[in-house]
């Protein structure tokens, strides 16, 4: 195959995958733009909800940045005990549906012997829970950005100006990335209905759900989702344009000698304390809150029945989403492997996709299902529909992971294959795919956990009688005994912890990957 033919093939592949990723939203976008609904999208209630959501999103971004940036810097630069598991479990809050920590905090506030804790409720409660939940995003982004500084750059800074100089240099390199990651956290909180519903905050995500449930007006929901997506893109677009290159540099691996954590007597302890406190406040405290009703009135037998009933759909939705996302992400990563501009363009489109409200795709596909002939029910109304929609929703997460892995693969392996006449397919399955296995499995687990935690897309698309576990918890939490809800939540927490622990074992299983060759 000639160079140009290969380039055209790659372009078509990337364009095809991106079109597929945008496809679920298109039916609603077209119908919303083409038709007029009886209800105006910019009603007073919706405008209030939009303003409240924007305030919440901005607050979440600021809080996440203030917590995530310094903690991420210290965690990346300094050595301390249990560094690896502490860093890994920072991702724990990110992988939970936001209503779980909310229930935990509410339970803590309700416990009499914990009356000294400040009440977590309303807008402030929402801000605290979502801010703590989003803090790992800038934290992990800062950590990743620091990995792109070389060990010798840090050594030079240390020699010339001590730790102050090291922190200054690293902060300068990490601030754009951390800011964008915090902004992403804020944007994602805009489309999260869990926390606002529990703390009684009128947000745009809850408003869209409530209005759609009441009117069942696809065009109105479409226009509301479009207004939200437009506003998000308008506010973040310029920042994205400026900072995307830094984000891509941080997110995508380079072959450098990475920073070696330095054992500093004070800053190492500070790093340990920062990560420990964040883990305690963002994950352990709400988890303890979730345990309280289960300790007083354990209902694990009933919860077990519920889990058994929802296990199959949960695993099928999550596993299917994982397979879809990782397959498409691997194709995107390999197709853009030697093209930085292509990688930037793909990241920009996918970030815009991630920033759009999930209801847009959820309602869009259900709209498509109302028009599609019955022969297509397997595609528009089945388990596959949910898996496909969730897989496309979390495609950006898997793509970043796969681009990092592909970027860390030496180009000379492929060149050696060409010199020796090894067929590209053979190189793919004997060298590239085995090398990428760890990243593939890690991305699969990550997307599975994120997809399982999603309630918006799943609720709109799940076939009758096929509820996932988080949707079941979300549905029963208002009118079921606290003990049952708490037991269900604890079982869900256990599943997330098991998946994270499995992800932590991956580097040990693929030791050869770190071969010096």
Partner 1 sequence: MSALVTCKGIGCRLGGQLVLRGTDLTVAAAESVALLGSSGSGKSTLLRVIAGLELPERGTVTIADKLATRSGRLLIPPHRRGIAMLFQDLALWPNLSVAGNVCMGLSGLRLTPAQVRARMAQTLARCGISDLARRRPGTLSGGQQQRVALARALAMQPKLLLLDEPMGGLDLLTRQAVLQEIARLRTELGFGMILVTHDPAEVHGLCNTLAVLEERKIVEHGPLEEMKTGARSALGKAFAQALQSIG
Q: Which residues bind partner 1 (CB under 8 A)?
A: 3, 410, 412-413, 415-423, 426, 430-431, 434-435, 511-517
| Nearest alpha carbon to residue 348 among 239, 223, 489 | 239
Q: Kindly state the greatest CA–CA separation across the chain.
A: 73
CB of 253 to partner 1, least distance (A): 16
Could you give the CA distance from residue 94 to residue 133 in angstroms, rounded to a whole number?
6
CB of 418 to partner 1, least distance (A): 5
CB of 88 to partner 1, least distance (A): 24
CB of 1 to partner 1, least distance (A): 11
Nearer to partner 1, 218 or 435 (CB): 435
Nearer to partner 1, 81 or 516 (CB): 516
Match 């496309």 to its residue by tokens.
392
Nearer to partner 1, 1 or 115 (CB): 1
CB of 10 to partner 1, least distance (A): 17
Could you give the CA distance from residue 377 to residue 381 in angstroms, rounded to a whole number?
5
User: For the chain, what is the total number of helices (H) and then of strands (E)?
Assistant: 25, 0
CB of 419 to partner 1, least distance (A): 5
Helix, strand, coil in percent for the chain, rounding step 5: 80, 0, 20
Nearer to partner 1, 164 or 430 (CB): 430
CB of 342 to partner 1, least distance (A): 14
Q: Quick one: angle between helices 218-251 and 44-77, nearest 10?
A: 20
Q: What is the DSSP letter of 253?
A: -
For residue 438 the two structure tokens come to: 């760890």
Could you give the CA distance from residue 395 to residue 358 in angstroms, rounded to a whole number?
13
Could you give the CA distance from residue 334 to residue 11 in angstroms, rounded to a whole number?
12
Mapped onto helix, strand or coil, the DSSP state of residue 262 is strand
Where are the strands (E) in 230-324, listed by range? none
Nearer to partner 1, 83 or 513 (CB): 513
Nearer to partner 1, 19 or 416 (CB): 416
* Contact in structure between 66 and 186 (CB atoms under 8 Å): no
Nearer to partner 1, 84 or 420 (CB): 420
Match 């226009």 to its residue by tokens.
223
Q: Please state whether 468 falls in left (phi above 0), alpha (psi between -120 and 50) or beta.
A: beta
* Contact in structure between 219 and 37 (CB atoms under 8 Å): yes
CB of 404 to partner 1, least distance (A): 17
Beta-bridge partner residues of 150: 258
Nearer to partner 1, 118 or 421 (CB): 421
Nearer to partner 1, 289 or 417 (CB): 417
CB of 338 to partner 1, least distance (A): 11
């Amino acid at each position: 195959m000639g160079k140009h033919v290969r380039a055209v093939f790659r372009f078509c592949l990337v364009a095809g995958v991106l079109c597929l990723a945008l496809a679920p939203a298109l039916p609603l976008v077209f119908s919303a733009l083409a038709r007029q609904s009886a209800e105006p999208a910019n009603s007073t209630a919706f405008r209030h909800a939009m303003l409240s959501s924007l305030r919440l999103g901005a607050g979440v971004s600021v809080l996440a940045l203030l917590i995530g940036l310094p903690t991420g810097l210290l965690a990346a630069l300094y050595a301390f005990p249990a560094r690896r598991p502490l860093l890994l479990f920072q991702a724990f809050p990110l992988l939970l549906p936001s209503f779980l920590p909310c229930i935990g905090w509410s339970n803590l506030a309700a416990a009499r012997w914990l009356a000294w804790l400040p009440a977590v409720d309303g807008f402030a409660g929402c801000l605290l829970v979502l801010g703590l939940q989003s803090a790992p995003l800038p934290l992990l982004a800062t950590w990743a950005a620091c990995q792109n500084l070389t060990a010798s750059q840090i050594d030079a800074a240390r020699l010339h100006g001590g730790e102050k100089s090291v922190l200054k240099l690293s902060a300068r390199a990490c601030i754009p990335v951390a800011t964008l990651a915090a902004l992403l956290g804020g944007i994602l909180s805009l489309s999260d209905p869990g926390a606002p519903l529990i703390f009684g905050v009128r947000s745009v995500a809850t408003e869209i759900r409530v209005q759609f449930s009441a009117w069942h007006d696809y065009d109105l929901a479409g226009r509301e989702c479009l207004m939200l997506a437009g506003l998000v893109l308008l506010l973040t677009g310029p920042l994205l344009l400026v900072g995307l290159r830094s984000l891509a540099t941080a997110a995508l691996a380079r072959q450098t000698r990475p920073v070696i954590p330095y054992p500093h007597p004070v800053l190492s302890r500070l790093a340990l304390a920062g990560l420990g406190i964040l883990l305690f406040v963002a994950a352990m405290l709400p988890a303890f809150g979730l345990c309280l009703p289960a300790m007083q009135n354990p209902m694990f037998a009933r919860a077990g029945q519920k889990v058994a009933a929802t296990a199959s759909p949960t695993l099928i939705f999550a596993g299917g989403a994982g397979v879809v996302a990782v397959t498409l992400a691997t194709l995107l990563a390999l197709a853009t492997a030697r093209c930085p501009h292509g990688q930037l363009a793909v990241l920009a489109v996918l970030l815009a996709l991630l920033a759009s409200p999930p209801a847009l795709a959820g309602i869009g596909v259900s709209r498509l299902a109302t028009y599609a002939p019955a022969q297509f029910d397997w595609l528009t109304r089945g388990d596959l529909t949910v898996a496909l929609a969730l897989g496309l929703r979390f495609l950006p997460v898997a793509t970043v992971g796969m681009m990092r892995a592909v970027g860390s693969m030496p180009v000379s392996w492929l060149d050696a294959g060409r010199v020796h006449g090894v067929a590209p397919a053979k190189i793919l399955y004997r060298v590239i795919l085995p090398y990428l296995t760890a990243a593939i499995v890690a991305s699969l687990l990550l997307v599975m956990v994120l997809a399982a935690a999603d309630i918006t897309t799943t609720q709109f698309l799940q076939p009758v009688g096929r509820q996932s576990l988080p949707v079941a918890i979300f549905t029963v939490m208002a009118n079921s005994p606290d003990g049952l809800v708490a037991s269900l939540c604890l079982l869900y927490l256990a599943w997330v912890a098991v998946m994270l622990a499995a992800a932590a074992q991956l580097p040990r299983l693929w030791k050869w990957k770190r071969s010096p060759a």
